[in-house]
C-alpha cells in the first residue's frame, strides 16, 4: 500500500468517526431530550383531557342531582318511610289490588347510638343517597296490576319496581278466573342534600298521558292480552254467558306439516287437545268447537291443509288461516280472498258448500254425541 493510499484510508476512517461522533452529539444533546419532552407533553395533554372529562362529569352529575332532588323523598328518613308507605298502600288499593301487605324498610341506625366500627383509610365511600326498599304482597287481577304499574310510572318520584312475581290462584277451580297473587320489591330514593320543602308530592300525575314519546308502551294492552288466561274481549263480561267467547280460548298449539297433523287446545275447559288432519282418511279432517255440555255447535270446520306453523280450514263457504299461537276467533275475523287462495294454491282444496246439506250449522246436538256428520 502506497503512502497516498494510506492517507486516503486514514481520511475515510476519520470521516466516518467524525460522522459517528457528530450523530452521537446530535442524539445526546438534541434528539433524545426532544423525544423526552414530546412524551411529557403528550402525557400532560392526556392528563389535562382526563381532568376536563372529570370536570364535565362532575358538572353533569351536579345538574342531575339538582333535578333529582325535585323528585326525592323527604330528607328525614323516618318521615320519608312513613309517607311513602301510606302512599304505596293507597295507590295499590286505588289501582284495584286487594289484601295489600307492605313491609317497610328497617328504621335508620343512629350513628351515635350504634357500636363504633373501625373504617379502613382506603375503604370506598358509600353513596350518600338512601334507598328505601318495600316488600309488597297483594292479590288482584292482571288489569289491577297493570293499573298499579301505570300509576307508579305517573308518580314523579324516584322509585322503581326492582322485581315482581305473578302467580295464579284457584287454578283447579276456575280456569277463566283472572285471580293473581302479586309479590314485588319497590325501591324509593332519598337524594343526598335534599332540603325540607324540596321533596315531591306523592300522588300520580293525572296530566301525564301514557304512552308518550318517552314511554311509548301502552300499559292497557298488557291487561287485554292476559298472559295467564289468554286474550279477553272487552265485551266478554257483558255477554252474560261464556259460550260466545269459547272460540277465543281455542288456540293452535302444534303443527306438523310432514304428517299433516295439527293440534288445537281449549284453554277454557280441561279437555284433551283437538287433533286435526288434512287427510280425509284419518277421520280428523273436520273439527267442532262446542259448548262445555256439547249441546251447541259454535264452530264447524273442515281442515284443508297443514303447513309449517299454519293451518287452513273452511267454515261454510269461507276459508281461513290460523297461525300457531292464534285463536280460532282471531283467525275467523277475515276470510282469505280469492287472490290469497290462488297464491296459497288452495283453490283445488276448497269444498263446495250447500246450506241445505250442511249439518254443521245445527245449533243443537244431543248430549253425549261424538260430533256432527261429515260434510259431503
Would you say residue 82 has pLDDT above 80?
A: yes
Tell me, which fold does domain 77-106+129-224 have in CATH? Alpha-Beta Plaits (3.30.70)
Domain extents in the chain: 77-106+129-224, 237-361
Asked if pLDDT for residue 322 goes beyond 90, the answer is yes
Distance CA 132, CA 105 (A): 6
Across the range 341-364, mean pLDDT stands at 75
Q: How many CA atoms lie within 13 A of 181 on its CB side?
A: 8
Q: What does the pLDDT look like over 143-161, one tens digit per residue?
A: 888 889 888 888 888 899 9
Query: What is the model's pLDDT at position 371?
Result: 36
**What is the pLDDT confidence band of residue 126, given thresholds at 50, 70 and 90?**
low
Average the pLDDT over each of 106-115, 265-274, 319-328 and give the range with the smallest value: 106-115
The residues near 256 (Cβ < 8 Å, ≥ 6 apart) are 262, 306
Q: 95-99, 279-283, 312-316: lowest mean pLDDT where? A: 279-283
H-state helical runs in the chain:
3-26, 32-69, 77-94, 142-154, 219-224, 328-331, 338-343
Q: And the C-alpha cell for 82?
A: 312513613
- 68/131 Cα distance (integer angstroms): 14
pLDDT at residue 137 is higher than 90: yes
260-299 pLDDT tens trace: 999 999 887 778 899 999 888 878 889 998 887 788 889 9
The pLDDT of residue 305 is above 90: yes
Share of the chain above pLDDT 90, in %: 24
Rounded CA separation 27/24 (Å): 5
Identify the pLDDT of residue 92. Answer: 92
Segment among 52-66, 244-258, 314-328, 334-348 with least mean pLDDT: 52-66
What is each CA distance from 362 to 126, 298, 313, in whole angstroms? 75, 9, 19
pLDDT (0 to 100) of residue 264: 93
Amino acid at each position: 500500500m502506497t503512502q497516498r493510499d494510506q492517507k486516503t484510508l486514514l481520511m475515510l476512517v476519520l470521516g466516518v468517526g467524525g460522522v459517528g461522533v457528530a450523530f452521537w452529539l446530535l442524539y445526546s444533546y438534541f434528539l433524545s431530550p426532544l423525544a423526552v419532552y414530546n412524551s411529557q407533553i403528550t402525557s400532560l395533554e392526556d392528563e389535562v383531557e382526563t381532568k376536563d372529562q372529570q370536570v364535565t362529569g362532575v358538572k353533569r352529575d351536579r345538574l342531575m342531582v339538582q333535578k333529582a332532588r325535585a323528585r326525592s323523598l323527604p330528607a328525614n328518613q323516618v318521615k320519608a318511610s312513613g309517607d311513602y308507605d301510606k302512599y304505596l298502600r293507597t295507590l295499590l288499593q286505588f289501582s284495584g289490588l286487594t289484601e295489600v301487605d307492605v313491609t317497610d324498610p328497617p328504621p335508620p341506625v343512629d350513628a351515635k347510638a350504634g357500636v363504633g366500627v373501625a373504617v379502613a383509610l382506603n375503604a370506598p365511600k358509600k353513596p350518600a343517597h338512601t334507598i328505601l326498599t318495600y316488600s309488597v304482597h297483594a292479590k288482584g287481577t292482571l288489569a289491577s296490576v297493570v293499573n298499579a304499574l301505570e300509576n307508579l310510572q305517573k308518580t314523579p318520584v324516584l322509585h322503581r319496581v326492582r322485581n315482581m312475581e305473578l302467580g295464579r290462584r284457584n287454578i283447579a277451580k276456575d280456569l277463566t278466573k283472572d285471580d293473581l297473587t302479586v309479590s314485588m320489591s319497590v325501591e324509593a330514593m332519598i337524594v343526598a342534600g335534599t332540603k325540607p320543602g324540596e321533596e315531591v308530592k306523592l300522588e300520580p300525575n293525572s296530566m301525564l298521558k301514557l304512552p308518550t314519546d318517552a314511554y311509548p308502551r301502552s300499559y292497557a294492552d298488557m291487561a287485554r292480552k292476559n298472559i295467564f288466561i289468554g286474550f279477553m274481549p272487552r265485551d266478554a263480561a257483558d255477554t252474560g254467558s261464556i259460550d260466545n267467547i269459547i272460540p277465543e280460548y281455542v288456540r293452535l298449539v302444534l303443527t306438523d306439516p310432514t304428517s299433516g297433523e295439527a293440534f288445537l287446545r281449549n284453554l277454557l275447559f280441561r279437555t284433551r287437545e283437538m287433533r286435526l288432519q288434512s287427510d280425509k282418511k284419518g277421520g280428523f279432517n273436520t273439527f267442532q268447537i262446542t259448548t262445555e255440555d256439547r249441546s251447541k255447535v259454535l264452530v264447524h270446520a273442515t281442515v284443508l291443509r297443514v303447513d309449517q306453523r299454519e293451518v287452513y280450514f273452511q267454515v261454510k263457504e269461507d276459508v281461513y288461516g290460523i297461525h300457531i299461537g292464534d285463536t280460532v276467533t282471531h283467525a275467523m275475523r277475515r276470510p282469505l280472498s280469492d287472490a290469497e287462495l290462488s297464491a296459497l294454491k288452495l283453490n283445488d282444496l276448497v269444498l263446495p258448500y250447500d246450506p241445505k246439506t250442511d249439518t254443521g250449522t245445527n245449533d243443537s246436538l244431543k248430549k253425549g254425541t261424538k260430533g256432527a256428520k261429515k260434510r259431503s
